Structures are given as structure tokens and as C-alpha cells.
Structure 1
Amino acid sequence: MSAQTVLIKLLLPTIFLNIGAVKAQTNVASYEPVRYNGEGIVYALPQTRIVVRAQIERINHQPGELYSYAKRYFGQEANGEVSSRYRLGRAIAQSIGIPDFDNEYIVDFRSGTVADFITLNRRGILVGINADRQDLPPPCPDTIFHLPTAQLASDRTAALPQEYMVAGTKAKQAEIAAAQVFRIRESLMDILTGQTENMPKDGAALQLMTQELKAQEAALLALFYGKEEI
């Protein structure tokens, strides 16, 4: 929000009530449009408002081709319908100042005050006295609330044996895919407990191997529970 500087001789009376005879006291009075003669500067005190901007995400669900067998092998029903749901992705809270038109004041033009100039913003709000633009405090930064991102299935293709491709029924395909999921889970458990013969040589290799196995598990489970896309 840019500000314009109005060079006038003024000061708020509450600041310099006892300034003495060296400098003239600035006269500040409540602003009344019907009595304003154009000689002086009008400013408003601010009201603080919080503006919240929200980002809404639409998540589309595509059912898996083996959804009807999900409960049989994994104990949980799968959604077999194309559907959509909405969630709050993130929210941004911004503090802004707006003019309070019930608290407007007029400052008479007078010389000899200790105030050299006053700074108003575009909305006519008082933002500084005897201060250049660079001396003014920066505006309050936006507060951004990041919500947990939706856990979406990856686009990775499930690694399935040839028997899956030649299986004659959905039931047989579901049996083969479920067996593959359980083999991956067994391999993950062996790695995490150190019971596999080909343990990774270092932490980076261990992380890479576990990530690959989890990605394959997610791709196989997508055959049963479907995928979600934003």
C-alpha cells in the first residue's frame, strides 16, 4: 500500500499540550463536512480488519477395477462410484486498515509547529508524522495456514506378474494382485527388521528401497481402492 506525503505544518494536540511559546500549538478538531472550508488536512483513524482468503480443492475419486474385492482381501469396503469431495487447501489471513469515518479529524494549516509533515495513505489514514516513507514500519505480513495435503495415489503402474494379464476372471486377478501386496509388505517388514539377506549398504539405499516398495504397494492398492486426483 503506497503512501503519499503531505507537507504541512501540523501536529496532533495530544502530543504537544505543554510545548510552550517557542512553537505554535497545532489545532486538531473533529471533521464536519458542512463546516469544512478547505483550509487544512483531513485524516481518518484506522480500523483493523482481518481478510481471509481460502483455497478450496476439489478431489475427484476414480474407483479401482477390483473395488468389489477390497473387503475380501483387506477388510475394508471400497467406493465403487465416481465421486468428488471438497477440502480446504490453505487459508491466508491478512490484516488491513480501513478508514474509520466515525473518527475523522481536520488539522488547521499553521506555521511554527514542531511537526514538519504528515504522511497519509491512499485511503486517507494517518500513518506517520515527521517520517519519510522508508522510515515507516512495514505492513503486517500475511499469515498463511497450510493444511495437510491430500494423500493421492501416484501415477505409477502396478508391477504385476504375467498371470494377472491372462487371468480369465476379475476374481482371479484380485487374488493375484492381493498376493503381490502381501509379498511387498513381507519384504518391507524383513528390511525394517534386518532379516533380509540383501540389506541396503547405507541409509540412503535403505530409504530408496523402502520408498520403491511403498510406491508399488500404493499402485497395487489403487486397483482396489481407486485413485484421487485434484
Structure 2
Amino acid sequence: MIRVKYLIPTLFLAVAFGVSAQKTTRVNAIKANDYGVVYSLPKTSFEITLLVKKTTYRKGEFYPYAQRYLGIEKPITEDKIVYTLEDISIVNRGIPDKNNSFMVAFRPKSLEPFVHLREDGVIVTINANPESETVEELKIPQGLPPSVNPRNYLSQETLMAGSTARQAELVARQIFGLRSSRTDILTGEAENMPPDGNAYKVVMDEINRQEKALTELFTGSEQAEYFTHSYTVVPDERDIDRRVVARFSEKLGPVDADNLAGEAIYLSLVNKTPKVEMQLSERDLKRLENKLSDGIVYNVPGKAMLNIEFRNRTLANKEVDVVQYGTQDVLVRRMFDNTKQPIKVYFYPELGAIKQIIQ
């Protein structure tokens, strides 16, 4: 038998990184369930994920002496936490549409028909095992770890000094001593040179670690960490014009849309699929109802432009698929009456649209 593949045009399933797979369940159409399987079609929701950097600044104990002893012009002079919006991702996630649940009914003589459903009931395949999904995860950058406690490296003389100014002077001398030791090792003039490459690395790393910790007593320290925060938007059949979906504050980070402590993040969604107005007679409407009730209903998503703005800057501008802007169609039941070689149907689970038909 010749196997023919019907390739469906590629859809914009994921706008950005971050697609997660759901487990599926095989449901057989057998006599016990009247050869019928109930399934749901999804509707579009957009999961908007913000990648946020949290930077913690700590002033150094000797910051007033940074210019005098080390020539540092702009040390950190106050403790503070600053949040910055580093990146944004948008993922098209299909959620079950409670108004679009159907039963796919097979004829008793069909060859062992079955359907794969997601855990939430959304249809994935007919007469075929689901294809393995490539799961992509949002990559969170590695932050800057907390600084080493500089007091671990202070000399006894520094600890016993009677004033902060005197302590700062002694620590500055210690920093210059470390720099001199490093230079001597690099030039081969040190009295006790490391015996091999491993020892060289250990010694240099320790000198750098001590210098950095002591210098931060003047410059201050900086620690950075990254995290994500997500919001969900479920459009209806209408366009969205600069809806506030979230807010962002440098002092608080991501906050809810109604929290005026943050600046607004706007989302716009414009339907690009021409709407065809059809005047159907009562007879045609009846035929359409019968067609939808006697086959496998699937979604034909519409196209839309999605735009996200923050501080008058465009963060995302993508063409996306939106189920709510599209229509529905039907695979007639007689397609599955073949008793020798069943037709296989693969869906885009996030959209309820047909991906591929194999017969």
C-alpha cells in the first residue's frame, strides 16, 4: 500500500523558548465506550515570562577613603537592591476550551482505532503514537556569588588599629603588598616561586581572592542573581490594544498589573486573518451542524501580530497563531473506515490544528 503524507503548513506554535511537554494517555475506541472518545480542543493563551536580574549593592566599610588610598573615583556609597528586566519570552500555550469538547465516534468495523489525549483532555493524535517533543527551557544566566568576608584576611595590626582611618590605611598597604607579590611571581622574581603549574594556579587564585575581598572594603560589593516571573494572557475574539499585563519596578521587580509602584508592560494583539461573512440558509446551517457532529472537529487558527512594549521600547513583535481568531473544520468520519490500514492524524496540541495526515 502506498503511504501518502499530507503536510500541513508550519504554524507559529512557540513564539520564544520555553515549551514544556505534557504526558499523554492512549484511549481505545472499543465496544465498552461505544467506539467513541471524548476530546477537547484548546484555545490560545500566552505565557509571558520575564527574566529578571536582582543586583544587591553593599557599601564598603572604608568607602570614604577609596579615593585617598586607592584612587577609586566612584565607590558604592549606600546599600541597595536594583531589579532590571533582562529579557522576555512568549509561549503559546493551549488550554482546554470547555466550550469545545467533542466525541470522535468510530465505526465498529474500523481497525482498532485509538486516540492519544493530553492529561487535560486535549487531542494529540489519532491512530498514532505522539511524536517526541523537544523540550526547551529558559536558560537563566549564572549570577555573581556573594563576596568572601574580607575580615578573614585582615592582619592583627589592622584589627587592633584605633581608628577607621588607620585601618583603611593598613588595608590599602596590604592590597599593594598583594599586588607586588603577584607581579614578582609573574616576572619570576619572587623569593619562593611555586614549584609547578598547579601550585602556581593555587597561589595566584588566592592572591586574587584576597585582593578582591580587601578592595571591596573600599569599592563596595555587588551580588547578582537571576529569576523568572510569568503572567498569562487569554485573548478572546477581539483585538487587544495596549493592555497592561504586568508592571515592573527597579525597587520591587515584577509586580501585578494593578500595582502602580511599577511601570506598565503593554501587550497588543491585532488579528490579521480576514473575516469572511457568510449568510447561510437554515438548510445550510443544519448541514454545518450535522457535519460538526459527525466527524473530527479541529481548529484552523488565525494569524495575529503580537507586540509587547515597556518604557516606550518594543520588547517583542511577532506573528503568532491564535485559535480565537480562527475557525473550525472537520475530518469526515468515513476517512477512518479503512479496515486494513488506519489513517494517522497528528495535531499541534497547543493549537488543536492538524499537523500531518498519513494514510
TM-score bucket (shorter structure): 0.5 to 0.7
Name the counterpart of 1:204. Answer: 198
Q: How do residues 19-34 of structure 1 correspond to structure 2 at under 5 angstroms?
A: none
Change (3 A) 1:40 1:110: same
Indicate which of 107, 110, 128 corresponds to 1:113. Answer: 110
2:3 matches 1:7: no
2:164 matches 1:164: no
CA contact (8 A) 1:70 1:224 kept: yes
Name the counterpart of 1:78. Answer: 75
Change (3 A) 1:5 1:167: closer
Q: Which residue type is aligned with residue 115 of structure 2? A: I
TM-score (norm 2): 0.46
2:219 matches 1:219: no
Larger relative helix fraction: 1
CA contact (8 A) 2:150 2:214 kept: no
CA contact (8 A) 1:56 1:89 kept: yes
Name the counterpart of 2:343. Answer: none
Q: Which residue type is aligned with residue 128 of structure 1? A: T
Q: CA RMSD in A?
A: 3.7
Structure 2 Cα separation of the partners of residues 205 and 89 of structure 1: 39
- Unpaired runs of 5+ in structure 2? 1-21, 226-359
- Among all aligned residue pairs of Structure 1 and Structure 2, give the percentage whose two residues are the same amino acid: 33
Q: How do residues 132-211 of structure 1 correspond to structure 2 at under 5 angstroms?
A: 135-211=129-205
Q: How do residues 40-59 of structure 1 correspond to structure 2 at under 5 angstroms?
A: 40-45=36-41, 51=47, 53=49, 56=52, 58-59=54-55
Larger Rg: 1
- Cα displacement (A) at 1:40: 4.3
Indicate which of 58, 62, 65 corresponds to 2:61. Answer: 65
- Cα displacement (A) at 1:110: 0.9
Change (3 A) 1:192 1:114: farther
Q: Which residue type is aligned with residue 64 of structure 2? A: S
Q: Which residue type is aligned with residue 23 of structure 2? A: S
Change (3 A) 1:155 1:3: same
Larger relative strand fraction: 2
